[in-house]
Chains A and B, each alone.
Chain A
Amino acid sequence: RKEVEQDPGPFNVPEGATVAFNCTYSNSASQSFFWYRQDCRKEPKLLMSVYSSGNEDGRFTAQLNRASQYISLLIRDSKLSDSATYLCAVNLLNTGFQKLVFGTGTRLLVSP
């Protein structure tokens, strides 16, 4: 089983739709969690950290479910500009070094 798994998609949604992605992780000792956005042929950019209580930033909401070992990202009122690949990252404390393990990403395509 992979350490971090994501549905590759693509998720095709119309503008204005609500879309959600999940990311599962295998190691229950994972300590912190992140969502990154990556545009085609560009570097990943940190979208948001995921806190235990869940957090929201505008149209974006991130949730953590430790019992089922997954994190989620909800995007409301999708914009054309939201089209990108969304990477989740899970931070595992490993012999004093906090190793960040990335999923392969979920591709989102928002159409007019």
Chain B
Amino acid sequence: DGGITQSPKYLFRKEGQNVTLSCEQNLNHDAMYWYRQDPGQGLRLIYYSQIVNDFQKGDIAEGYSVSREKKESFPLTVTSAQKNPTAFYLCASSTLQGGTSEQYFGPGTRLTVT
């Protein structure tokens, strides 16, 4: 089955610890994205990558880091510098071919930091 996988589904961490969220896709999509969603708020873009070994900051990149060593993988690290890390994290991907860029989402990781 083609799709986007994220793991784990739920993650609990103590404040001050870094944590890495996994995102893998087998859709052969060029672009990958990380969003966070908070209750009552829309999706906010954290980082995105259009090509391997290249990525750019989104609207709320502070306290996060990413890597794109393989086309299929785009892990997100939530560092201890992120002030409010508890949120629902969504990874998405899209092809860059054609005129539109429909994004498809993974099932998400719900991170709770206490």
Indicate if B50 sits at the interface (CB-CB under 8 A): yes
**B90 contacts A102, CB within 8 Å?**
no
Main secondary structure of the interface of A (DSSP, over half): strand
A87-B42, A97-B50 known; A32 vs B100 contact (CB < 8 Å): yes
CA distance A106 to B33 in the complex (A): 23
Interface string of A95-112 (1 = CB under 8 A from B): 001111011110000000
Task: Report the interface size class on chain A.
Answer: 20 to 34
A42-B107, A44-B90 known; A103 vs B42 contact (CB < 8 Å): yes
Give the nearest-CB partner of B35 in chain A. A102
Indicate if B103 sits at the interface (CB-CB under 8 A): yes
A49-B100, A91-B100, A91-B101 known; A105 vs B106 contact (CB < 8 Å): no
A-B contact pairs, 26 of them (CB 8 A): A4-B42, A8-B40, A31-B99, A32-B100, A41-B88, A41-B110, A42-B107, A43-B90, A44-B90, A44-B105, A45-B105, A46-B103, A46-B104, A49-B100, A87-B42, A91-B100, A97-B48, A97-B50, A97-B56, A99-B45, A100-B33, A100-B103, A103-B42, A104-B41, A104-B42, A105-B42
Query: Which residues of A (44-76) have their CB < 8 Å from a CB of B?
Result: 44-46, 49
Give the nearest-CB partner of B101 in chain A. A98
Q: Count B interface residues, CB 8 Å.
A: 22
